[in-house]
Amino acid sequence: MLKKRRYYWDTSIFIAWIKDEERSNPQDMRGLADVVYEIQEGNVQLVTSVITTTEVFTGDLDKRQKKRFDSLFGRPSIVRINVTQSIADTAKILREECKLSRISLKSVDSLHLA
C-alpha cells in the first residue's frame, strides 16, 4: 500500500490560502490551490499543529474566509498534531539554538518546527 504524500502547513500558509494573498510569484498560490484540491480528493494528507486554529482566528478574517478554513480543516485528510512535552522540549532547544545564532524565533514558530 502506497503512503499518501504529506504536506505541513503552518498558520501563515493557511492565512495566505484563506485570503488568497497576492504574491510576487503567482505560482505560490497556484501551488497552494493544487494541494487543497488534492486534500479535497483525499489524495494527500495535510499536517498542522492544533495551535493553527487559534492562530488563524486571531486575525481579521471575514465570514467567508472563516468558512473556507473550517471547511478545509474539517476534512479527514487533515492531521492535527498535539503539542506534547517532547514537542515543547524540542521547541525550547530550537529557540535556544536560534538565540545563540542571533536568529529571532517566536515560541509559536518553534512549536510548528518541532
What's the pLDDT tens digit per position in 11-63? 999 999 999 998 888 898 999 999 999 999 999 999 999 999 999 988 789 99
pLDDT of residue 56: 92
Residue that wins the pLDDT comparison between 6 and 26: 6
What are the domain boundaries of the chain?
1-82, 83-114
pLDDT of residue 1: 63
| CA-wise closest residue to 52 among 113, 91, 9, 95 | 9
Q: Which three cell numbers stand for residue 53?
A: 486554529
Q: What CA–CA distance (Å, rounded) separates 83 from 90?
A: 11
pLDDT tens digits for range 57-104: 887 899 999 999 999 999 999 999 999 999 999 999 999 999 999 999
Tell me which residue of 29, 10, 20 sits closest to 61, measured CA to CA.
20
Give the H or E element holding residue 90: helix 85-100
pLDDT value, residue 114: 86
Q: Which residues pair with 47 in a beta bridge?
A: 8, 79
Distance CA 64, CA 24 (A): 24
- The contacts found for 28-36 with CB under 8 angstroms, 24 or more apart, are 35/7, 36/72
Give residue 3's pLDDT band: very low, low, confident or very high (50, 70, 90). confident
